[in-house]
Structure 1
Amino acid sequence: MASSNLHIVVVTTLVVVASMHFSTTTAATSYLVGGANGWHLPSNPHHYEEWAKGKKFVKGDQFFFIYKKEEHNVAYVKRKEDFDKCNITAVDYVYKSGGVPSWIFNEVEIVYFICTIHCAKGQKVVIDVKAS
């Protein structure tokens, strides 16, 4: 547990330092999806919706997912209907190996991510990428 917390602190620090660098060189921002606790089973099923609320995601922003590979995964779902229903058979791609997967979106689009294990308990997020 302590090593997991240390891992989150180290990666969070790296993300903050990277975002400070990016903010001075480009308009891109780096996000730790879910905030300081990363990609985890939320106690509040609306946690990720609340995390995204009020943020303006734009092309070029980078999104980091930090989680334990034994407990979670990050799956990309193309359609809102499948996201809403946590339809794990409609997953386009699943990242299972843990670590810190990240995505940069260079198109204006709405992107849906779920944990195929805990989606029904609220571990899912919508990233609405705007032009600027």
Structure 2
Amino acid sequence: MASLLRKTMGLSLFLVLVSLKLSFGAVYEVGDDKGWTVNDKSYYTGWAKSKKFHVGDVLLFRYDKQIHNVVQVDKKGYHKCNAAKPIAGFNTGHDSVTIRSDEHLYFICGTPGHCEAGQKLRIKVSRSKVPVVEPPPPINQASFARGGSCPLLLCIVILVIGLF
């Protein structure tokens, strides 16, 4: 009986973990190994066409912050390589952008000449009928150390370890 209970709980836990994994978006490192830098003019177009982006996915921009930046612009700013009216700007060298709607997204490098040289990206977001769950906030280590509530994933891991 205890063995059956363990197997049932293990299967239930597995299904919860699988559903959590499926509900969070994918993380795409822009440009893959090359990152966000000046490439040939069609590089980022080809990179984006090789992916299927959905609401909830995350774009990770990695670049040398001394040389590049990331500017989110509208369609006109993208086509004209104009960062004068940015939607958002990033300059840490390790920036992430979560796709929050099924609208197209446009990014350019604001360093003079870089966008014109091909450092620009258009993301076409696929319309999806699957609801996307926002990732949980980071664990507050201080709260947890004071006896705060157990984060869901940590509780699940503890439960699994206790089963075996």
TM-score range, shorter chain: 0.7 to 0.9
Q: TM-score, normalised by structure 1?
A: 0.75
Residue deviations 1:19-52, cap 9 Å, x none?
xx9997125211000111110111x111000101
Aligned-pair identity in percent equals 38
Deviation at 1:86, TM superposition (A): 0.2
Residue type of the alignment partner of 1:60: G
Residues 119 and 23 of structure 1: CA distance in aligned 2, closer, same or farther (over 3 Å): farther
- Which ranges of structure 2 fall in alignment gaps of 5 or more residues? 1-16, 129-164
Which structure has the bigger radius of gyration? 2
Alignment of 1:81-100 (within 5 A): 81-98=76-93, 100=94
With the length of structure 2 as denominator, give the TM-score of the two structures: 0.61
Please say if residues 22 and 29 of structure 1, whose CA atoms lie closer than 8 Å, have aligned partners that are also in contact: no
| 1:29 and 2:23 aligned | no
Whether the 8 Å CA contact 1:77–1:90 is kept in 2: the answer is yes
- Name the residue aligned to 2:125: 129
Specify every segment of 5 or more residues in structure 1 that has no aligned partner in the other structure, as ranges.
1-20
Q: Are residues 1:41 and 2:38 paired?
A: yes
Spell out the pairing of 1:7-86 with structure 2 (5 A cutoff). 25-27=21-23, 28-42=25-39, 44-78=40-74, 80-86=75-81
Aligned counterpart in structure 1 of residue 116 of structure 2, from 115, 120, 129: 120
Alpha-carbon RMSD? 2.0
* Aligned-partner Cα distance in 2 for 1:122–1:46: 7
Q: Deviations over 1:96-132 (max 9, x none)?
A: 232x110111211100000011111100001111233
Normalized per residue, the structure richer in strand is 1
Question: Which aligned runs of 4 or more in structure 1 are off by greater than 6 angstroms?
Answer: 21-24
Matched with 1:107 is: 101
Secondary structure of the 2:87 match is strand
